C-alpha cells in the first residue's frame, strides 16, 4: 500500500477558497434562474433546508461503522453517535479471520455547513507501531438530515493479513479531513487477527 506523505510533496501556490455558508451561497446571484437551478441540483436537499441541530455543533457525525466480511454470517456493527458509542468501539475488538476479505462502510451525517474535499484517512497500529496507512478522497457533502454512506474500498475488498506472525491485536484510527486540513471526525477501533472467527489464537 502506497503512503502519501505531505512533507514529500513540492510546494504549491494553491489557496483554498473561502468557506461560504449554504444559506449565503443560495442568495448569491438569486436573480439568475439557471444558476439557481444548478445550485439546487448541486446541493440537493440542502438548497431548501439546511440541517443544523442547535444542540449539536459538530459538522460531521458518525452514525455507524459496519465491517463486512466474506464468509461471516453477520456484519460487525458499531454505533458512533455518542462518546459512549465511540468508547465502546475503541475498547471492543472485533475478530478478522486471517486472510479474509473485508470492507468497512461508514454512515455519517453532515450538519450546519457543506464540507468540501473530504478525505478518509485510516491508520493501523500494532504494539504502538504504525503498520499501515491509507487515504482516499471521498468528495464534498451538503448538510442534510439523511445520512451519507461510503464504503472502503469502493471496489473489491481489503485482505486481512495472514500467517502466524500476523496474528494478534491491532488498533486503528480513522479521520475525515477536509481540504482545509480540518479534521471533522476522528474515531478509534480495535481488532484481532485470528486463525478463525472463533479461535483463541
135-168 pLDDT per residue, tens: 999 999 989 889 999 999 989 999 999 999 999 9
Q: What is the pLDDT of residues 17-26, one digit of tens each?
A: 455 555 555 5
Q: Is the pLDDT of residue 190 over 70?
A: yes
Centroid of chain to Cα 174:
7
| Residue 43 predicted with pLDDT over 70 | no
Instruction: Tell the CATH topology of 51-194.
Output: Coagulation Factor XIII; Chain A, domain 1 (2.70.50)
pLDDT at residue 27 tops 70: no
Q: How confident is the model at residue 201 (pLDDT cuts 50, 70, 90)?
A: confident
Q: Comparing C-alpha atoms, which of 132, 116, 113 is closest to residue 170?
A: 132
CB 141 within 8 A of CB 114: yes
Q: What pLDDT shows up at residue 3?
A: 44
pLDDT at 37: 62
Read off the pLDDT of residues 95-112 as tens digits, 9 standing for 90 and up: 999 999 999 999 999 999
Assigned C-alpha cell, 40: 439546487
For residue 42, what pLDDT is reported? 57
Label each residue of the chain as H, E or C. CCCCCHHHCCCCCCCCCCCCCHHHHHHCCCCCHHHHHHHHHHHHHHHCCCCCCCCCCCCEEEEEEEEEECCCCCCEEEECCCHHHHHHHHHCCEEEECCCEEEEEEEEEECCCCEEEEEEEEEEEECCEEEEEEEEEEEEECCEEEEEEEEECCCCCEECCCCHHHCEEEEEEEEEECCCCCEEEEEEEEEEEECCCCCCC
In terms of pLDDT, which residue wins out, 31 or 193?
193
For 29, other C-beta atoms within 10 Å of its C-beta total 13
Strand-by-strand arrangement of the 168-177 sheet: 94-97, 183-194, 168-177, 115-126, 129-141
Ranges of each domain in the chain: 20-48, 51-194
Amino acid 8: pLDDT: 44
Q: What is the pLDDT of residue 161?
A: 94
Residue 2 binned pLDDT confidence (cut-offs 50, 70, 90): very low
State the average pLDDT for the chain.
84
Amino acid at each position: 500500500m502506497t503512503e502519501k506523505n505531505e512533507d514529500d510533496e513540492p510546494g504549491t501556490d494553491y489557496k483554498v477558497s473561502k468557506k461560504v455558508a449554504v444559506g449565503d451561497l443560495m442568495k448569491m446571484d438569486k436573480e439568475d434562474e439557471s444558476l439557481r437551478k444548478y445550485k439546487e441540483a448541486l446541493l440537493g436537499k440542502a438548497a431548501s433546508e439546511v440541517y443544523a441541530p442547535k444542540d449539536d455543533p459538530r459538522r460531521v457525525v458518525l452514525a455507524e461503522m459496519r465491517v463486512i466480511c466474506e464468509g461471516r454470517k453477520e456484519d460487525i456493527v458499531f454505533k458512533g453517535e455518542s462518546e459512549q458509542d465511540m468508547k465502546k468501539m475503541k475498547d471492543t475488538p472485533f475478530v478478522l479471520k486471517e486472510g479474509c476479505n473485508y470492507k468497512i462502510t461508514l454512515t455519517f451525517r453532515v450538519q450546519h455547513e457543506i464540507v468540501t474535499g473530504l478525505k478518509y484517512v485510516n491508520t493501523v497500529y500494532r504494539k504502538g507501531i504504525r503498520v499501515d496507512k491509507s487515504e482516499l478522497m471521498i468528495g464534498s457533502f451538503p448538510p442534510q438530515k439523511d445520512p451519507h454512506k461510503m464504503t472502503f474500498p469502493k471496489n473489491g475488498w481489503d485482505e486481512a493479513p495472514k500467517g502466524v506472525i500476523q496474528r494478534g491485536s491491532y488498533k486503528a484510527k480513522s479521520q475525515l479531513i477536509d481540504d482545509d486540513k480540518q479534521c471533522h471526525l476522528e474515531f478509534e477501533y480495535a481488532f484481532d487477527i485470528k486463525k478463525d472467527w472463533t479461535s483463541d489464537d
